[in-house]
Amino acid sequence: MNDGDVSKQIQQMVRFIRQEAEEKANEISVSAEEEFNIEKLQLVEAEKKKIRQEYERKERQIEIRRKIEYSMQLNASRIKVLQAQDDLVNTMKEAASKELLNVSHHRNILDALSHHHHVYKHLLKDLIIQSLLRLKEPSVLLRCREHDLHLVEHVLDSAAEEYAEKANVPQPEIIVDKHVYLPPAPSHHNTHDPYCSGGVVLASRDGKIVIENTLDARLDVLFRKKLPAIRKQLFGQVAA
């Protein structure tokens, strides 16, 4: 083999090696491009997923916040409605309390002789009898307003007699407390002071049993008892 043949063979080998190297380089380039595209796609999808998750998280937070705000507004509205209902009911009770004064109000002895206060005098008698029937004690202490003292003393004997007949017992001893009286009627000048619209309080001599039979106490009992019916009549439903 002469030098020309050797040179040709070497050139062929170089071209083959170069071609093979180029093909290998192309394969590496294509493979790298594919891997890059795959990794890029994965990164894009991962970022998209993170964005979607963040969006969904914020959307849930907004929905939760909206529900909380709606619930708070609804509760506030209910509280306002309930407060308005309570205000109306309390206004009715205050009006009823003022009417009690029309039952028990009398300025002097001459007033007490009028028909209106003749009714209150009989009411005092009935309240005393009722209290005696509940106490069933042979000796009791009675308290009234100083304003009502003369009326109470006027009906005391007949009340004791009627109680004795109803209970079939001897007439009880009724001691009127002239040292401690029930508070006077409510005043516009002293709205926070204790007051009593009328009626009596009876107690056993040892003070262990007390029957509060004032007009205010009876109004409270009646109001509590009738409150569901009052609410139903006013608002169309019975309060829970």
Contacts of 205 (CB under 8 A, 6+ apart): 137, 139, 140, 141, 175
> Which residues, listed in sequence order, are joined to residue 141 by a DSSP beta bridge?
175, 203
Beta-bridge partners for 173: 139
Q: Chain-wide mean pLDDT for the chain?
A: 86
Cα of first residue to Cα of last residue in the chain, in angstroms, is 118
pLDDT at 212: 96
Residue-wise pLDDT tens digits, 90-148: 888 888 888 877 777 765 544 545 555 788 999 999 999 999 999 999 999 999 999 99
Please tell me the pTM assigned to this model: 0.63
pLDDT tens per residue, range 13-43: 878 888 888 888 888 888 888 888 888 888 8
Q: Are the beta carbons of 164 and 133 closer than 8 angstroms?
A: no
**What does the alpha-carbon distance between residue 125 and residue 117 come to, in Å, rounded to a whole number?**
12
* Helix, strand, coil share of the chain (percent; to 5): 70, 10, 20
Q: Dump pLDDT digits (tens) for 213-226.
A: 999 999 999 888 98
Main-chain dihedrals φ then ψ at residue 192, nearest 5 degrees: -100, -5
Q: What pLDDT is recorded for position 188?
A: 64
Q: Residues of the chain with pLDDT > 70: what percent?
A: 90
